């Protein structure tokens, strides 16, 4: 608890260009949660170097991601928006938690197996202990809730196990966090293969709408979206392409899928697709404008980055000191 509010932690990696899936499934929910909770939203750049990055490109992407958090509506005066690498407590706690995590547990992580297969030439120790750094992120701020996609549930379960294990040995040190899985836009699928999720690492650019796509590109991608030959605008699993378009339209307009189906009753795909395009354009346009405006305001962004790194550092240090004392590290002489 901070000032009577429950604590929320989440983060995103600055790898690749953000998609509409990232926005509707994550960022948009973050904004809606920011009044209820004391929020920490991190650009988790330390996680990103588990895969080789080009330094200048990486720095640019991380800055863009942080700017996008704010452009999407997260007020940096209320929410702690910061770079993970600016708070050394993440690395320090991760080391301690490494000593409370078993090889067997990490061996079971499916994301590690997937990433190791994808990057067979660079299976580094960081990739293996990635979930421990993630646990440190969350536990450092004593987070009560963690909004994540279903793909991160295994890592969150591990975080809970590590927290409980530590608490069993040393007493109530960590808050054991709960996952928060959003309802709307929980999973946006690829426009080219609706059996796969829309993903920023997809090689086919037509499969994803990127947050920085211009209106013509968005419209073209929506019109080319893979559907079926049923000809009925119905919300059902047998028509995954249409179901996805209904989901996107609903998430962008604030309607329920049922309301959307009603709106398009008796109409054809030729009417649905451009309507989806328009709905997406009207959601992304203000986001892009705000992003462009903020990007130019270097002084403002820098001041927010500095202030929030200090704020995060304050809370991180509090937990870290407690943990260090519990494990028996000697007191500092002041
Ligand atoms: P990558 O392709 O690099 O694996 P990604 O696009 O799958 O990336 P992540 O960085 O893994 O995205 O996830 C960032 C956040 O966006 C997570 O909270 C995740 O659950 C959410 N997210 C990602 N893709 C989608 C999607 N298609 N629909 C809804 N939410 C998504
Ligand atoms: N592993 C997550 C990103 C991430 C995260 C976190 C999410 C790193 N640390 C802490 C929530 C809480 C991902 O790849 N989406």
- 5, 6, 28, 115: which one is catalytic? 115
Instruction: State the DSSP string of 195-245.
Output: TSB--TT-S-GGG--BTT--HHHHHHHHHT----SS-----STT-HHHHHH
Give which of 34, 115, 67, 48 is closest to 288, Cα–Cα. Answer: 67
Q: Work out the pLDDT band at 186, boundaries 50, 70, 90.
A: low
Predicted TM-score (pTM) of the model is 0.93
Q: With a cut of 90, say whether residue 318 has pLDDT above it.
A: yes
Both tokens assigned to 40: 């920490």
Q: What is the pLDDT of residues 79-89, one digit of tens each?
A: 999 999 999 99
| Mean pLDDT of the 27-53 span | 95
Residue 243 near ligand 1, beta carbon < 6 Å:
no
Give which of 24, 40, 19, 37 is closest to 137, Cα–Cα. Answer: 40
Poorest-confidence range of 57-61, 92-96, 118-122, 136-140? 118-122
Binding residues for ATP: 13-15, 21-22, 149-151, 188, 197-201
pLDDT (0 to 100) of residue 181: 80
What's the CA gap between 247 and 245, in Å, rounded? 5
Please, are residues 191 and 206 in contact by the beta-carbon 8 Å criterion?
yes
Q: What is the pLDDT of residues 50-75, one digit of tens each?
A: 999 999 999 999 999 999 999 999 99
What's the CA gap between 174 and 196, in Å, rounded? 36
Give which of 249, 245, 241 is closest to 194, Cα–Cα. Answer: 241
Q: What is the pLDDT of residues 303-313, one digit of tens each?
A: 999 999 999 99
> Which protein residue's CA is at the shortest distance from atom 7 of ligand 1?
199
Which ligand lies nearest to the CA atom of residue 187 in the structure?
Answer: 1
Q: With a cut of 80, say whether residue 182 has pLDDT above it.
A: no
- Best mutation site among 14, 149, 187, 243 for ligand 1, i.e. most ligand atoms within 8 A of its Cβ? 149
pLDDT (0 to 100) of residue 150: 79
pLDDT (0 to 100) of residue 200: 87
Q: With a cut of 90, say whether residue 16 has pLDDT above it.
A: no
What's the CA gap between 188 and 226, in Å, rounded? 14
Q: Catalytic: 200?
A: yes
Q: Work out the pLDDT band at 183, boundaries 50, 70, 90.
A: low
Poorest-confidence range of 6-10, 96-100, 219-223, 228-232? 228-232
Percent of the chain with pLDDT over 90: 89
Which atom of ligand 2 sits closest to the CA of residue 149? Answer: 15
- 3-state class (DSSP) for residue 117: helix
Instruction: State the DSSP string of 44-88.
Output: -HHHHTTS---HHHHHHHHHHHHHHHHHTT--TTTSEEEEGGG-T
User: Which is it for the CA torsion 40, 45, 51, 53, positive or negative?
Assistant: positive
- Best mutation site among 148, 153, 175, 316 for ligand 2, i.e. most ligand atoms within 8 A of its Cβ? 148
What's the CA gap between 272 and 245, in Å, rounded? 8
């Amino acid at each position: 608890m901070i000032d009577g509010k429950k604590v929320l932690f989440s983060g995103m990696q600055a790898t690749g260009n953000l998609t509409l899936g990232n926005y509707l499934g994550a960022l948009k929910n973050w904004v809606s949660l920011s009044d209820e909770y004391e929020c920490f939203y991190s650009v988790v750049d330390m996680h990103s170097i588990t895969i080789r990055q080009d330094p200048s490109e990486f720095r640019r992407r991380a800055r863009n991601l942080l700017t996008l958090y704010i452009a999407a509506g997260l007020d940096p005066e209320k929410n702690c928006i910061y770079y993970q690498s600016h708070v050394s407590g993440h690395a320090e706690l991760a080391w301690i938690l490494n000593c409370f995590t078993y090889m067997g547990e990490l061996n079971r992580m499916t994301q590690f197996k997937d990433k190791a297969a994808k990057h067979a030439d660079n299976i580094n120790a960081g990739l293996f202990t990635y979930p421990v750094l993630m646990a440190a992120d969350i536990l450092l701020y004593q987070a009560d809730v963690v909004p994540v996609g279903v793909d991160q549930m295994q890592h969150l379960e591990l975080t809970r196990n590590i927290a409980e294990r530590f608490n069993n040995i040393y007493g109530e040190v960590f808050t054991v966090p709960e996952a928060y899985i959003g309802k709307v836009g929980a999973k946006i699928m690829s426009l080219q293969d609706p059996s796969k999720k829309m993903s920023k690492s997809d090689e086919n650019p037509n499969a994803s709408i990127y947050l920085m796509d211009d209106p013509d590109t968005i419209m073209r991608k929506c019109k080319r979206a893979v559907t079926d030959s049923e000809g009925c605008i119905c919300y059902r699993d047998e028509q995954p392409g249409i179901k996805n378009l209904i989901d996107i339209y609903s998430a962008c307009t604030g309607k329920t899928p049922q309301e959307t189906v009603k709106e398009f009753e008796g109409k054809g795909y030729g009417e649905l697709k451009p309507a989806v395009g328009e709905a997406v354009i009207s959601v992304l346009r203000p986001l892009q404008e705000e992003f462009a405006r903020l990007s130019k305001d270097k002084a403002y962004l820098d001041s927010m980055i500095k202030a929030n790194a200090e704020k995060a550092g304050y809370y991180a240090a509090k937990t870290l000191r407690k943990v260090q004392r519990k494990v028996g590290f000697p007191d500092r002489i002041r």
